[in-house]
Amino acid sequence: MDTAEFTWSLPADHPAFAGHFPARPIVPGVVLLDHALLLAAQMRGAVPGAGWQIAQAKFFVPVGPSQVLRFVLQTTPRGAIAFSVNCEGREVAAGSLVPPAP
Residue 95 has a pLDDT of 98
Please give the CATH number for the structural domain made up of 3-12+26-98. 3.10.129.10
Report pTM. 0.91
pLDDT tens per residue across span 53-78: 999 999 999 999 999 999 999 999 99
Query: What pLDDT shows up at residue 59?
Result: 98
In 33-56, which positions are buried (b, 16+ CB within 10 angstroms) versus exposed (e)?
bebbbbbbbebbeeeeeeebeeee
Is the pLDDT at 20 greater than 80, yes or no? no
Domain ranges of the chain: 3-12+26-98
Confidence category of residue 50, pLDDT binned at 50, 70, 90? confident
